[in-house]
Amino acid sequence: MTDEIITIGDEITHLCHLEEGQHRLIVTHIERGRYGLYCEGEHLQRTYLPYELPPVEQCDYDWYGWYHRCTDILPNGMRLGSLCGDRDWKLTDYEREWERTVAELRKETA
């Protein structure tokens, strides 16, 4: 996955808070990290799209300490796994937490 599939102004459908229905994130900022893409939208919306995280059918709250694991749908219909953390997090925070998550997942499968 490359950052070219998401551009400023794109509308991402974020399938979280299923009890409230989906919501849309209009991309205002994108950063490419070592492990994923970090997107910000209007109204302090954020999503982190790890390159190796598959989409899920249903949101998983408190997945390995994350606020939730979910699925985002891009304008072209592509479904990507996404994570949400603390509202104050930036790309470096998401990357650090993703490293921690991967280490925990490896321990479980070892």
Q: What is the 3-state secondary structure (H, E, C) of 2-71?
A: CHHHCCCCCEEEECCCCCCCCEEEEEEEEEECCCEEEEEEHHHCEEEEECCCCCCCCCEECHHHCCEEEE
Where are the chain's structural domains?
A: 3-109
Given pLDDT bands bounded at 50, 70 and 90, which one contains residue 24? Answer: confident
Given pLDDT bands bounded at 50, 70 and 90, which one contains residue 110? Answer: confident
Residues in the chain: 110
The two beta strands, 36-41 and 68-73, are unpaired
Give the CA diameter of the chain. Answer: 42
- The reported pTM is 0.88
Given pLDDT bands bounded at 50, 70 and 90, which one contains residue 104? Answer: very high
Residue 108 pLDDT > 60, yes or no? yes
Residue range 41-89, pLDDT digits in tens = 987 789 999 999 999 988 888 899 999 899 999 999 999 999 998 878 9
Residue range 2-14, pLDDT digits in tens = 457 899 999 999 8
